[in-house]
């Protein structure tokens, strides 16, 4: 939900920041099926089929990050992608250190109203002996507030990166001119990155 809110807020603020929404409409990113595949996997293992083999769920959870990495690497020249890659790497390190589950602070989960004793797969949970908890979901939005959930430092970096990417592609004043990059559109997606005018 955090990313959805960031995308909406970024798109809404493009024009006031001097950017062009039509420029966003012309963007053709590389390997978009990879990022959609990653999202589908995460939704499936958390919301659609949370029961079943914990081992398989953990492998799929890590695999979703591999798919997301394909997308990020393929589009690495775009503004914001390095920030997204950094945030995703922090998350993946925490997940790998905790056997495929993002460790979450009990107090953060309680604040967000997400503390549960469910035996089904949770991509973020209070694990018995967490490793690298400081990289886990330790930031909480209170349950009485919209978007109540727990978030990691990596999640915040990803959200910032997405905002930068949207504003950079739209030519917004919020992204320095030297960092703006507009993909040269072709039938195969963008091949080169040219400075935005």
In a domain, 189, yes or no: no
pLDDT confidence bin for 181, thresholds 50/70/90: low
Q: What is the pLDDT of residue 51?
A: 81
Nearest alpha carbon to residue 92 among 33, 153, 50:
153
In a domain, 81, yes or no: yes
Q: What is the pLDDT of residue 189?
A: 43
In a domain, 196, yes or no: no
According to DSSP H, which parts of the chain are helical? Answer: 2-14, 21-25, 32-43, 54-74, 81-97, 106-112, 153-169
User: pLDDT digits over 17-36, tens only?
Assistant: 999 989 888 888 999 999 99
User: pLDDT digits over 25-78, tens only?
Assistant: 888 899 999 999 999 999 998 888 888 788 899 899 999 999 999 999 999 999
In a domain, 67, yes or no: yes
pLDDT confidence bin for 146, thresholds 50/70/90: confident
- The mean pLDDT of 136-155, rounded to a whole number, is 92
In a domain, 173, yes or no: yes
- The DSSP string of 94-141 is HHHHTTTSEEB-HHHHHHHT------S--SEE--SS-SSGGGSB-EEE
pTM of this structure: 0.84
Res. 164: pLDDT tops 80:
yes
What is the domain count for the chain?
A: 1
In a domain, 22, yes or no: yes
Burial code (b: 16+ CB inside 10 Å, e: under 16) for 88-108 equals bbbbbebbebbebbbbbbeeb
In a domain, 91, yes or no: yes
- The mean pLDDT of 139-150, rounded to a whole number, is 89
pLDDT confidence bin for 178, thresholds 50/70/90: low
**In which domain, by residue range, is 10 found?**
2-182
Q: Using CA atoms, how far apart are residues 193 and 98, in angstroms rounded to an integer?
A: 38
Q: Which has the higher per-residue pLDDT, 2 or 7?
A: 7
In a domain, 192, yes or no: no
């Amino acid at each position: 939900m955090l990313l959805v809110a960031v995308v909406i807020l970024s798109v809404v603020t493009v024009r006031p920041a001097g950017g062009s929404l039509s420029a966003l409409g012309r963007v053709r990113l590389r390997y978009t099926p990879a990022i959609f595949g990653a999202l589908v996997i995460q939704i499936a293992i958390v919301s659609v089929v949370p029961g079943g083999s914990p081992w398989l769920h953990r492998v799929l959870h890590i695999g979703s990050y591999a798919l997301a990495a394909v997308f990020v690497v393929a589009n690495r020249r775009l503004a914001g992608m390095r920030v997204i890659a950094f945030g995703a790497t922090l998350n993946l390190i925490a997940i790998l250190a905790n056997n495929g589950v993002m460790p979450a602070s009990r107090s953060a989960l309680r604040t967000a109203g997400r503390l549960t004793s469910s035996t089904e797969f949770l991509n973020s949970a209070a694990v018995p002996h967490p490793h690298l908890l400081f990289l886990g979901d330790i930031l909480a939005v209170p349950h009485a507030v919209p978007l109540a959930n727990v978030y990691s430092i990596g999640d915040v970096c990803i959200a910032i990166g997405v905002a930068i990417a949207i504003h950079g592609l739209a030519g917004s004043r919020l992204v320095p001119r030297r960092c703006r990059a507009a993909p040269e559109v072709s039938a195969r997606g963008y091949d080169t990155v040219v400075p935005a005018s």
